[in-house]
Structure 1
Amino acid sequence: MRILHTSDWHLGRSFHREGMLGHQAAYVDHLLDVVAEENVDLVVVAGDIYDRALPPVDAVQLADETFARLAASRAQVVVTSGNHDSVRRLGFGSRLIDAAGVFIRTDPATVGTPVLLDDAHGPVAVYGLPYLDPDALRDGWALPGRSHEVALTEAMRRVRADLDGRAGGTRSVVLAHAFVAGAQPSDSERDISVGGVSLVPTTVFDGVDYAALGHLHGQHTLTDTIRYSGSPLAYSFSEAGHRKGSWLVELGAGGLTGAEFVDAPVPRPLARLRGELDTLLSDPALARHEGAWVQATLTDDVRPEQPMERLRSRFPHALQLSFEPAGGVRPTPVHTPEPGRSDHQIALDFVEAMRGRAADADESALLQLASEACCGDRDLDVIGAS
């Protein structure tokens, strides 16, 4: 059986206010091409289909089109909900959708009930574990503690109990959405810690032929049989070094026989640049980043004028700008206004503290006008005054 493992689509998400839906649709096209070209039998999506519980209409439409296209493909599909998904919205109509070969699993009560598939070597039991909130399950499952490890351990106990009742030789695949020890998070994942306890050891998945993980946005191989596919697109600049795509996994008669990472299309590369603004604008070695989404950290001692506009003259897709002077970030002084000190003088102090140099004559005059415009006419009588 050939399995394509993907996760964390986050349909509807933007990247620093850049719309990503068109790039997400291009990834779906790529996914369908891989299914056809690689003779994929099963696609597993390990959570976070949407970016939020109330996804925008165009994201729902893309998900609907994606599942319809997958249902018409040669592959069957198992989908689980992640911590970003609404269980009820994603799971709506799942019993009807099952008939089309797209199995959406969002209910924790079903973790021990697999989707049963067959290949030339016999049965494969696919267990879809949705994101498991320990607080929500603690009473119903009589959990002995308040952690993701405890919740997943109970879910896997139910999986193993079902497997033990099946004929020998039944292979198993588990989908789970969690933070499993040994992987490195990025800046774009939502924190799922409960009381500070979010890590789950890999031993929770012992005995499973393949564990398809979701939640972390970087691809990771924790063991031969436990892997994160990561998100198909970058959703933060901390993912600039990530390789994006999905795992193509093969199950033989005795379990996993191979796994190959299939690269996803990159809509636009990411670049993290650092240096003085004039250097970034003139260094010929940076020409290769001119078409990239750029995060720039300026190290000028004095904050340049119109830095983003100037940066975009060379890097038109610059999205994020920060300042770290080479001598270190100066602490912003906190002043207690002195008696008799004018608003204009306080504004001049603020400009100098934030920029590293005093306002020039034109700027000072503009600040004077602004200060006067914000103050009422002191010559007017105060209503109600005697």
Structure 2
Amino acid sequence: MRILHSSDWHLGQHFMGKTRQAEHQAFTTWLIEQCAAHAVDALIIAGDIFDTGAPPSYARELYNEFIVALRATGTQLVVLGGNHDSVAMLGESRSLLTHLNTRVIPSVTRDLNEQLLVLQDRAGNPAAVLCAIPFIRPRDVMSSQAGQSAQDKQLSLQEAIHDHYQQLYSLAEQRRDELGGALPIIATGHLTTVGASASESVREIYVGALEAFPTSAFPPAAYIALGHIHRPQKVGGLEHIRYSGSPIPLSFDEAKQSKEVLLVEFHGRALHSIQALAVPRSQALVSVRGNLEELQSAITSAAEQGTPEQTVWLEVCVSGDDYLSDLQSRIQAMTEGLPVEVLRIRRERGMAKASLQGSAKETLDELSTDEVFAQRLSSETLEADLQQRLQGLYRQVVSELQEGDE
């Protein structure tokens, strides 16, 4: 049995005024080629197929075109809903897509058997049992109780998610025994685990939300295919629990990462091998930093990756001279005639000096929502418990807004 593990495509992402359509098109074309070349039995996308709950029409078209093209390779597809995905939108085509060898699990189901899938090999024989677990929203697995503290809610949610995994895994063991007992059990998930290394493009799952799920709470599946964290990595150093990461860099701090999908092979019940397939980069993203003198050479060096037809997308982080008010015009002069596009200019200062009213006059375009909140909070002198409470309230508001987008 051979699967490909991918996640966090974020189709339709609007990146600082730029569309990622061409990059996603190049990736999906390449991925179909890999499924054919490696005779992949099943492709698992572990959440966040789309960037928002209401993606642009070209993103939906790309999704549908990919499913149709993949069918010709003989590879079956499993799509799990992520925290960015709309449950309703993913679910609306679910029945239709079953006729194209695709199964979609938008959210946790009342009947756990609907999340238990038997994956077949290319000959049509049962080859693996899949615990298909999408992003778990608190309301999917628990009821709100009056008077619970934030810590109590965290513990209750962690226990509820643990129970969901264990119940589904028990069903998977029963199903495996019914099928002869020689099949591997695979599980999925879309969540943050303890110790996972994230990036600035990861909009966290705020709760009521679970901050991090311990690896010890996962069932003993042969392989656990995770999504939500964009940096590919093993979890807790364990070979069989993996984040595949996003296939394209979704923020500048991911620009130097090697993006990949994971080719996972099983022999009988056991995990046999995992091979990382590097995703080709179709759009150069470069982040340069330094004072104005250092930036000139750094920008010139970055421009070597671009052409007039395919420019480099550039982030410029200014240190030392970040107090200047005419940074934008100075950077523009440095890039004149070079095949680069400056998408963001950032002034680098220590958080202790950071202030929304600072002398550098940062604009909102230079800051993420989390950075605005963090800087505003740092400007106040507050007790630690009050700061923690405000951070919790902020996370709750973000969570409610994200759920409202769905």
Q: CA deviation at 1:294?
A: 1.9
Q: CA deviation at 1:278?
A: 3.6
Check conservation: 1:132, 1:151, Cα contact below 8 A. Answer: no
- Which residue in the other structure is 1:321 paired with? 345
Q: Alignment partner of 2:340: what SS?
A: coil
- Which residue in the other structure is 2:69 paired with? 69
- Which residue in the other structure is 1:257 paired with? 272
Write out aligned runs for 1:132-151 (5 A): 132-139=136-143, 146=154, 148-151=157-160
Partner Cα distance (2:353, 2:285) in 1: 25
Q: Is 1:129 the equivalent of 2:129?
A: no
Partner Cα distance (2:131, 2:357) in 1: 57
Amino acid at match of 1:191: E
Q: Please, which of 154, 157, 165 is the counterpart of residue 163 of structure 2?
A: 154
Check conservation: 1:46, 1:175, Cα contact below 8 A. Answer: yes
- Which residue in the other structure is 1:44 paired with? 44
Q: CA deviation at 1:331?
A: 6.8
Please report the TM-score for the alignment, with normalisation by the length of structure 1: 0.78
- Which residue in the other structure is 1:102 paired with? 102
Check conservation: 1:81, 1:131, Cα contact below 8 A. Answer: yes
- 310 and 201 in structure 1: CA distance in 2 versus 1, 3 angstrom threshold: same
Please report the TM-score for the alignment, with normalisation by the length of structure 2: 0.75
Q: Alignment partner of 1:165: what SS?
A: helix
- 118 and 307 in structure 1: CA distance in 2 versus 1, 3 angstrom threshold: same
Q: CA deviation at 1:251?
A: 0.8
Map Cα deviations across residues 200-228 of structure 1 (whole Å, 9 max, x no partner).
11122231011110011110112111100
Q: CA deviation at 1:22?
A: 1.2
- Larger CA deviation: 253-262 vs 202-211: 202-211
% identical aligned pairs: 29
Q: CA deviation at 1:170?
A: 3.0
Check conservation: 2:13, 2:20, Cα contact below 8 A. Answer: yes
Check conservation: 1:42, 1:77, Cα contact below 8 A. Answer: yes
Check conservation: 1:82, 1:177, Cα contact below 8 A. Answer: yes
Map Cα deviations across residues 320-341 of structure 1 (whole Å, 9 max, x no partner).
1123489x9697879xxxxxxx
Map Cα deviations across residues 114-168 of structure 1 (whole Å, 9 max, x no partner).
221344896411121121111343139xxx9555523321221221221232313
Check conservation: 1:294, 1:315, Cα contact below 8 A. Answer: no
- Which residue in the other structure is 1:296 paired with? 316
- Which residue in the other structure is 2:118 paired with? 116
- Which residue in the other structure is 2:223 paired with? 210
Check conservation: 1:91, 1:104, Cα contact below 8 A. Answer: yes
- Larger CA deviation: 267-276 vs 16-25: 267-276
- Larger CA deviation: 96-105 vs 110-119: 110-119
Amino acid at match of 1:271: V
Check conservation: 2:6, 2:43, Cα contact below 8 A. Answer: yes
- Which residue in the other structure is 1:60 paired with? 60
Report the number of matched residues: 333
Partner Cα distance (1:284, 1:215) in 2: 32
Q: Alignment partner of 1:233: what SS?
A: coil
Q: Please, which of 329, 332, 335 is the counterpart of residue 312 of structure 1?
A: 335
Q: Structure 2: which 5+ runs fail to align?
A: 145-151, 307-311, 362-406
Larger RCO (CA under 8 A, 6+ residues apart): 2
Partner Cα distance (1:84, 1:289) in 2: 35
Amino acid at match of 1:224: E
Partner Cα distance (1:234, 1:311) in 2: 25
Partner Cα distance (2:67, 2:164) in 1: 26
Q: Alignment partner of 2:248: what SS?
A: coil
Q: CA deviation at 1:312?
A: 2.5
Check conservation: 1:6, 1:247, Cα contact below 8 A. Answer: yes
Q: Structure 1: which 5+ runs fail to align?
A: 335-352, 356-386
